Structure 1
């Protein structure tokens, strides 16, 4: 299917993009030059303009160069979604260094591993009793020479910062170690003159993101400047949105028209590209949400931010959309500002999509990607007429996807048959840091081009849409039949009482494996196992039907909001 020739390809969207060969720092610099007074970040009632963010990033780059940081050196970011994050990120890149994004709520042991593995020389962390204490512990016996501590007080409205300081409500570490620097001090003492460096966008690593923590030892994916700039420009070409009722779909408007909800963590590829960087590309506002679960009941903080700041675009994982539709006081909030949403990180159950669109009047288009692809690979058209719910649509302009045999990844399977997705495009990472063994496992040459093997199973249907069936490692084999957990979960989500569902395979002597379903009910709802079993009998083939059903108050989620089937499966096996 050369360049994805299908009658359903979104109208007006080019099949290729070529305008992405530039350093990632230009995303900020161009916008700051064009829209200096536009608001970039919004945090607890305070805002920062693009000119202010650029000025601070330039000062950070100046400090890094003065501290002896050289091109290619690694600097770790242990920050939640606070307004310091984009300033630190762009400052690191302006110094020619590599940003190593780490989950700030990891344990000291987990953080220590990433610092050690990456060889990071410096860390930016938050002034917070827990985060800072974890940083102190994690940096022991590593190459880290400098720690910069970010306090949020100066990023709050003056009165709120003053009162918060008096009442002790602003997070603060008990005591800062001698030799560790305060963020505000290094910014104030540095000039806004970044070092003069030359970046090779295609070759130089910009950001290193760790992946594989849910399946094994985390690996650092080295992502170049053009891995990200291609992704931004390809999404810019592909997205089309109806901006006014009755209007025609058009590219996302620039210059402050849109406000993005920064609900996904920015240490993660989906959050950093789709919210932090994409808002910067378009001169849009970005609402900083450090903790989506904050508030009573949980998620109230997000609802209040939506009401107050009127986001027009949300990028999120399916569990966030579930949280919206099942929020107990939804009717009290005006969420009509939302125009469009991008869902990714995990398959979007069709029922979750339907309920969210019904309650908001917006449109969700599903994306597919991986940490190793910075992250977007495929996106469902943002046109309701050509969007196919349950699919991930088509590859981005300039990206190729092949479906290859599970046993021989150099061989393609026929259209309509399941196989492993292999990706070739400018967004595919350089490789895993210091892991030639892992690189050998995931890269394959087909027709002279390098393809990345995703570990995901899917097929291309007769109309050219790509359907993800499941993760290769999650597939359940029942008596020789393949059962894809996602397929069973999608059915369970259509039950009116089910809020979250997770399906795993459990060992069975006769059939090899049996299907087990874990179910969390919506607030105030309950059901019997017999009721769920009867529902499954009506809606799926016998071999797919869960033989075991367990009701849970909570289903384990990753920090990004993905359902952790692995944790449930491990619990089952350990029993």
Structure 2
């Protein structure tokens, strides 16, 4: 692999035009039984971009909210915003009105694409701040001739539409906007043009908008596909939420850059995912570990034909070693872990396909300078020492939207280069592989001993009765903090001797230093997850803090 790659100096929108000229009849998006060609995709993007410019008055640099679950309209709307030289503001479909209100006000958005089912959340902002809203139904782009076999019932349900727009605002259905047939003006955006504000949840306060240009997103999309040896012949399963960088980069930008095929699954459904992989010969799948753990735990998965899968990877959390071993031994699929942030357009560090290491972030990818520093003195640390990971690269965001204080806290200069502080603690081994121990703010301090929850979680996944695990801090009168494990058991394991709190703690004592062993084990039916499939450790931690009170030295509980 070369140390650097040449990244196109064009916009992301131009990628679709190129693919449409090269492969006009090739399937760009497979939406259950409906195939959308590259020529058809490009034509829809052009019409919707024209509508934004001609009917909504969207000007270059204006911000447009995109509020929807995965569907073809999400992709068309995203690229129509780019084609109109505006700025995409992806919104988490789980957000409620208050969260949308902050993002709309902070970004200064003037318009929004909204799924009909989500319109009630954004309705209070329609007219007040968002002058133009275009509403789509998830089933509108399914071809009627294909029937409904294999299509989830909820996808065909039609959410009620609002009666009309508030005074001084406009409202259009997707069909109306597309049928208007407006043509966009000449496209002039390029590599350095701002094109997306991705809002991060952060650890405190309101979400902050990460400023990405066509160039930062293109750098990650191009580099990731070269790294993975992907090609126009790749068939990519796109099920990770597209509003999030993992799903956005791997499920939209990278396949469209290549001219590959996107097999689209709107909402996580492990049985539907298996059907789509078999039917459309999916070769590439990037997903968070929690999604893959669930997928490969489904009944009958060993009998499914998964032979087309050539690449299985992802990030967002460490893949437990026990699960990675199962994937390799039972299915012959190495899980290639990678590491990135919203601030780095997802692709930053990655394991080489030919020689990945377990529970490892990987090595620095094309043009990336990654180092480990002391989080307090900011001095660079030698190989093997634990510290904060910092990074410099073409995919790193330009900064936080209208937030100079956050920029000052997040960026430092080393050797004349601007580095982003990731807030993640890790170290680098003798071969340049990075290993993460945990978030800087997630450490448990038990009697002065530092415990990294991720290490304990990875071990718990090897317990024969445990399906999922999350480790948090609980208050303790003697130790200050102590280790608590919140676990979901495998089907049929609850009530068995090996699945008791006492047995799990005893099992951990055989494998961990005493101060790392959970003193409390709490059982739940399922762990809370975000829309991106990540286990919400912060929600469990906040619940623990709200409940308050000191904990006994050892306990088991069922929630």
* TM-score category, normalised to shorter length: over 0.9
Structure 2 residue runs of 5 or longer lacking an equivalent are: 165-169, 548-559
1:333 to partner: Cα distance: 2.9
1:156 and 2:142 correspond:
yes
Report if the CA contact (8 A) 1:394-1:464 is conserved. yes
1:283 and 2:272 correspond:
no
Q: 1:337 and 1:145 mapped to 2: Cα distance?
A: 46
1:404 to partner: Cα distance: 0.7
Tell me which of 83, 101, 122 is aligned to 1:135.
122
> Relative to structure 2, which stretch is displaced further, 432-441 or 168-177?
168-177
1:418 and 2:386 correspond:
yes
CA distance 1:105–1:215, shift in 2 (3 Å): same
Q: 1:180 and 1:489 mapped to 2: Cα distance?
A: 48
Q: What's the TM-score, normalizing by structure 1?
A: 0.90
Determine helix, strand or coil for the equivalent of 2:348. strand
CA deviation map 1:240-266 (0-9, x unaligned): xxxxxxxxxxx2232xx2211111010
CA distance 1:175–1:564, shift in 2 (3 Å): closer
Report if the CA contact (8 A) 1:504-1:565 is conserved. yes
Q: 1:529 and 1:163 mapped to 2: Cα distance?
A: 44
Determine helix, strand or coil for the equivalent of 1:180. strand
Report if the CA contact (8 A) 2:238-2:250 is conserved. no
Report if the CA contact (8 A) 1:420-1:458 is conserved. yes
Q: 1:472 and 1:153 mapped to 2: Cα distance?
A: 43
CA deviation map 1:317-375 (0-9, x unaligned): 01011111211232453222211112211121111222233333222200100001111
Determine helix, strand or coil for the equivalent of 2:327. helix
Give the length in aligned residue pairs: 536
Report if the CA contact (8 A) 1:336-1:361 is conserved. no
CA deviation map 1:22-76 (0-9, x unaligned): 2111221211111111101111210101111111111111111113111100001
**Residues 160-559 of structure 1: pairs in structure 2 closer than 5 A:** 170-178=156-164, 179-191=170-182, 193-202=183-192, 204-212=193-201, 215-239=204-228, 251-254=229-232, 257-293=233-269, 299-383=270-354, 386-409=355-378, 411-526=379-494, 527-559=499-531
Report if the CA contact (8 A) 1:325-1:359 is conserved. no
1:43 and 2:31 correspond:
yes
Q: 1:567 and 1:372 mapped to 2: Cα distance?
A: 22
> Relative to structure 2, which stretch is displaced further, 320-329 or 446-455?
320-329
Report if the CA contact (8 A) 1:326-1:522 is conserved. no
Determine helix, strand or coil for the equivalent of 2:176. helix
CA deviation map 1:148-198 (0-9, x unaligned): 011244411223579999x9972323233324101122112124x421242
Report if the CA contact (8 A) 2:137-2:158 is conserved. yes
Q: 2:420 and 2:202 mapped to 1: Cα distance?
A: 19
CA distance 1:417–1:77, shift in 2 (3 Å): same
Runs of at least 4 residues of structure 1 off by over 6 A? 161-165
**RMSD of the alignment, in Å?**
2.0
Please name the residue that 1:21 is paired with.
Answer: 9
Report if the CA contact (8 A) 2:234-2:283 is conserved. yes
Report if the CA contact (8 A) 1:14-1:237 is conserved. no
CA distance 1:488–1:137, shift in 2 (3 Å): same
Determine helix, strand or coil for the equivalent of 1:311. coil
Q: 1:380 and 1:162 mapped to 2: Cα distance?
A: 40
CA distance 1:83–1:18, shift in 2 (3 Å): same
Q: 2:90 and 2:116 mapped to 1: Cα distance?
A: 17
Report if the CA contact (8 A) 2:138-2:155 is conserved. no
Q: 1:478 and 1:105 mapped to 2: Cα distance?
A: 35
1:127 to partner: Cα distance: 2.6
Determine helix, strand or coil for the equivalent of 1:302. helix
Q: 1:261 and 1:169 mapped to 2: Cα distance?
A: 18
Q: 1:161 and 1:140 mapped to 2: Cα distance?
A: 38
Determine helix, strand or coil for the equivalent of 1:181. strand
Report if the CA contact (8 A) 1:74-1:99 is conserved. yes
Report if the CA contact (8 A) 2:126-2:132 is conserved. no
Report if the CA contact (8 A) 2:320-2:458 is conserved. yes
Q: What's the TM-score, normalizing by structure 2?
A: 0.92
CA distance 1:214–1:437, shift in 2 (3 Å): closer
1:309 to partner: Cα distance: 2.2
Determine helix, strand or coil for the equivalent of 1:42. strand
